Amino acid sequence: MKTKPKTVRISIIGFGNVGGGVAEVIRRKRAEIARKHGMDIKIVGIADLRGVIVNENGLSEDAIMKLKRGGKPEDMTTLEVIKEIEHEVMVEATPTNVETGEPGLTHIITALESDKHVVTSNKGPLALEYRRLMELAAKRDKEIRFEASVGGAMPIISLIRENLAGNGIISIKGILNGTCNYILTRMAEEELPYEHVLKEAQEIGIAETDPSKDVEGIDTAVKLVILANSVFGMNATYEDVEVTGITEITPDALKLANDAGYMIKLIGEVDREGCLKVAPRLVPKEDPLNVGGTLNVATIKTDLAGDITVIGKGAGPIEAASAILSDIIRIYS
């Protein structure tokens, strides 16, 4: 006799690219997940700055579409949804704020204090208050999972924790920002100056109007802090990272490197000795770290398995939602 799938009710806090992607992948995959994993995932609350919608029996696609089109929301706050609507997992996908961690930090604390598991793509709270959040989660016997926050769809945190569980991790080195990788790849291929390629990247939506967090290496540094704390047990913050971005790189430098058999890539590196560094580095063309376009890549140096390299899409609503969905499933498997 088939057992009934376990119902897992979730809220989505922050309904932009990633939050919308999560709703979309659940719509596409709900039946398959019930079949394969014995879980029926229901979205019972959604909140963003337009307002909130809730339904404890599961929000219909119509209701979700209406919120997207600016329909009339409920008379409730985001924090009330997290606290008062019964559910098991809060998905946090509000914008990353590396100065205060807010509003995500308060959302995560509120969820844990009201006995919800947390799955988040938001880097800010993790980069600023990693230890405090983990301690709170342990105290409440809840999980915080955050695979989407580093490398988007590229599995790295769960890969290390689960598949490489018996290994000591010596270092992690990689490209963790797709915008920088796109800019450097185009500059090298077309011998074009930085400003020209940045403008092109902004026009096609790969770079933000204010690209500083990406091109100055801040985004890579924040992801490195998350890896330092979660993989190496450090208590690092952004201030501990030595950071150089890509704004000073010239087509001449890329050409010189190319002629000598190298590419220049923005590399983030963290090791068990406590080194935390983001800088443009020469990467041999045949090195697995030499990936082009917007791809992310990371080489994990281990004491038993040797080097393991993962490559994947670091951004995109469905890609980030892929990591979030896997995190939700892992909480219950």
Q: Which residues bind ligand NAP (CB under 6 A)?
A: 13-19, 47-50, 78, 93-96, 103, 121-123, 148-149, 152, 315-316, 320
Measured in degrees and rounded to the nearest 5, phi and psi for residue 11 equal -115, 150
In the complex, what is the shortest distance from the CB of residue 253 to ligand NAP, in angstroms, rounded to a whole number? 29
Using only the alpha carbons of the chain, give its radius of gyration: 20
The C-alpha atoms of residue 45 and residue 311 are separated, in whole angstroms, by 33
Neighbouring C-beta atoms of residue 279, cutoff 10 Å? 16
The C-alpha atoms of residue 154 and residue 312 are separated, in whole angstroms, by 5
The contacts of residue 226 (CB under 8 Å, 6+ apart) are 123, 126, 127, 130, 146, 149, 150, 157
In the complex, what is the shortest distance from the CB of residue 51 to ligand NAP, in angstroms, rounded to a whole number? 9
In the complex, what is the shortest distance from the CB of residue 119 to ligand NAP, in angstroms, rounded to a whole number? 11
CA distances from 9 to 39, 206, 246 (A): 10, 33, 43
If the CB atoms of residues 158 and 167 are measured against ligand NAP, the closer one turns out to be 158
Q: Is 116 a residue of the active site?
A: no
Q: Of residues 223, 265, 277, 313, which has the active-site annotation?
A: 223
User: In this structure, what token pair is assigned to residue 156?
Assistant: 């790295």
In the complex, what is the shortest distance from the CB of residue 213 to ligand NAP, in angstroms, rounded to a whole number? 9
**Catalytic residue annotation:** 223
